[in-house]
Amino acid sequence: MFSGVKPNRQILRRNVMAFLREKGFNAAICKTKWESSGGLTAGNYEFIDVVLSDSKRYFIDLDFASEFVIARPSNLYQHLLQYLPRVYVGKSEHLKQILKVTSDAAKRSLKSKGLYLPPWRKHRFMQNKWLSPYRRTANLFPATFSSDPGAFIHVCAVKFRTVGFDVTIHGGERWFLPATARTR
């Protein structure tokens, strides 16, 4: 559905957030930011979250697995990465468990190759990406993108052609199926 904007992560996140809001979810872009302290490198990160009426918060990261890639991984670490979801949708409890396991595995993997663990792969840094203080925004247009919404729309423009069937028969019933869109 969003394949036309997939290369631009910022626009993809905004489109997915808008889609979820259209479906009635309290979705927003979360921006975390933290300062350096005690050997921790400063940084910032963006992801989507959904807050349900019972105050449960779900994290949605559209490029989750790539956040754990390291240089010269051991075979065991490569095997572990295969089990990480490309797109993460889940609660903070599960996220904390994943962060602990992968951070420990990354540390062991790099140590086995005679390399040091870079600051941006330490457990505290990885936790800060998703679990540090954050600011939620539901704005469709990022403040840093451009003051001209036309520029944003121009970047999102995708050429489509339609492919599909007007009518299909399912269990003896006739259903109307609109043509689906596919990018070129």
**76 domain-assigned:** yes
**181 domain-assigned:** no
Domain limits at 29?
A: 3-147
Considering the chain, what percentage of its residues have pLDDT values greater than 70?
Answer: 72
pLDDT reading at 145 higher than 80: no
Closest CA relative to residue 119, chosen from 107, 102, 134: 107
Which pLDDT score, from 0 to 100, does residue 3 have?
52
**3-class SS at 42?**
coil
Residue 108 has which token pair? 């062991």
Most distant CA atoms of the chain, gap in Å: 68
**172 domain-assigned:** no
Q: State how many domains the chain has.
A: 1
Which pLDDT score, from 0 to 100, does residue 154 have?
41
Tell me how crowded residue 130 is: count the other CB atoms within 10 A of its CB.
22
**73 domain-assigned:** yes
Distance CA 122, CA 138 (A): 30
Q: Is the pTM of this model over 0.75?
A: no
**106 domain-assigned:** yes
* H or E element in which residue 146 lies: none
**143 domain-assigned:** yes
**161 domain-assigned:** no
Distance CA 15, CA 155 (A): 12
What average pLDDT does the chain have?
A: 79
**For range 15-44, the mean pLDDT:** 91
**166 domain-assigned:** no
pLDDT reading at 119 higher than 50: yes
